[in-house]
Amino acid sequence: MDYEKIIHTICDPFLINKDALMVRELPSDSDKDVNLLIVAENEDTARLIGKKGSVANALRDVVAVAGKTENKRIHLKFESFDEDK
């Protein structure tokens, strides 16, 4: 399943700079785990996380349902680009 495409479809409407969104799969210890890193600009990352993590948790829930079709656990990690460095 293309989790990257799912995340882009859900996240793009929230973002100011849609071209800066990067989704990468990180190595995992298990075949049943999928670790995804979502990187965006500082302001867009804040939008994706939301107040008290509400948007991030909703995104995790949607992706978890998609993962259950393949018996996989999906883990999302959010980071932002640091423009000053």
pLDDT of the residue at 82: 72
In a domain, 85, yes or no: no
pLDDT of the residue at 42: 92
CATH number for the domain spanning 13: value is: 3.30.300.20
Q: Give the chain's domain count.
A: 1
Which of these, 61, 62, 63, 60, lies nearest to 78 by C-alpha position?
60
pTM: 0.87
- Within the chain, which residues score under 70 in pLDDT? 83-85
Q: What is the DSSP string of the chain?
A: --HHHHHHHHHGGG-S-GGG-EEEEEP-SSTTEEEEEEEE-HHHHHHHH-GGGHHHHHHHHHHHHHHHTTT-EEEEEEEE--TT-
What domain range includes position 47? 3-80
